[in-house]
């Protein structure tokens, strides 16, 4: 086991889905996996392993923001031998072309600005595994899932003093959405030579001020989870 994950070697599958919220992790495991077993409860960051279409798949909670995310991603890659990480997260849409409740597939990510709270070279763009990205685009179309794909931005500051203006530069660069973990995902995967992909469900909209209600968010993640698991099996 590691300092933050009580699971032993071999408890995680080679492919791990990474939601931030432990309630989402539990819902995903109980709804989609066959014979799921809980392998981590430490700090409430629930982790599960089960089968999807006969293939072992794990789901591990990562918490909110880059620091929390990196703790779990590092331990999964360094100690547990995980080779593929698929983020199943949430985002805010930055353009009217991206619909509330749709999915954004991050084809590249960069920090939103120098005030994003992300340092150590995170300002330069990073990207997903090319094969996983292509597979995600193809399977999302096959499954009829409403989606967009392209540049996203990442910030470690949720309650930002600049308000909506903070996104002007990102929107000018063509960014579709903002989240808090994707830059960490793509960079740590590259460091370990692992594969990574970020799938994001749009739960609020910067342009229209629309928001989803938290009560609907588990069912809201059905399409994203189906897509992530389909990729996990086919990839």
Active site residues: 204
Per the CB < 8 A criterion, the answer to whether 73 and 84 are in contact is: no
> Among candidates 66, 83, 98, 103, which has minimal Cα distance to 185?
66
Encoded tokens for 51: 């089968």
Q: Where are the alpha helices (DSSP H) in the chain?
A: 22-32, 65-78, 130-142, 168-172, 182-192, 217-220, 222-234
* 177: phi then psi, degrees, rounded to nearest 5: -160, 165
Encoded tokens for 156: 């470690």
> Among candidates 90, 83, 168, 182, which has minimal Cα distance to 128?
182
Cα(96)–Cα(148) distance, rounded to whole angstroms? 12
Three-state secondary-structure class, residue 217:
helix
Element (H, E) at 228: helix 222-234
* 85: phi then psi, degrees, rounded to nearest 5: -120, 125
Q: How far is CA 39 from CA 10, 48, 61, in A?
A: 11, 5, 11
- The residue assigned the tokens 């973990």 is 181
């Amino acid at each position: 086991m590691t300092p933050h994950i009580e699971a032993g070697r071999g408890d995680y599958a080679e492919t791990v889905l990474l939601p931030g919220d432990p309630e989402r992790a539990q819902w995903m495991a109980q709804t989609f996996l066959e014979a799921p077993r809980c392998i981590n409860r430490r700090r409430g960051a629930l982790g599960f392993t089960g089968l999807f279409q006969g293939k072992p798949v794990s789901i591990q909670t990562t918490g909110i923001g880059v620091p929390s995310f990196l703790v779990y991603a590092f331990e999964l890659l360094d100690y547990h031998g995980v080779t593929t990480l698929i983020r199943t997260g949430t985002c805010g849409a930055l353009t009217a072309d991206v619909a509330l409740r749709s999915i954004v597939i991050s084809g590249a990510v960069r920090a939103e600005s120098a005030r994003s709270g992300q340092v150590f070279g995170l300002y330069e763009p990073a990207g997903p595994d090319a094969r996983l990205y292509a597979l995600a685009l193809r399977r999302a179309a096959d499954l009829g899932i409403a989606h967009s794909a392209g540049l996203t931005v990442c910030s470690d500051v949720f309650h930002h003093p600049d308000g909506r203006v903070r996104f002007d530069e990102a929107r000018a660069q063509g960014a579709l959405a903002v989240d808090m973990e994707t830059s960490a995902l793509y960079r740590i995967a590259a460091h370990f030579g692992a594969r990574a992909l970020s799938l994001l469900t749009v739960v609020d909209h910067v342009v229209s001020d629309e928001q989803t209600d938290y009560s609907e968010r588990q069912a809201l993640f059905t399409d994203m989870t189906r897509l992530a698991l389909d990729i996990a099996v086919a990839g």
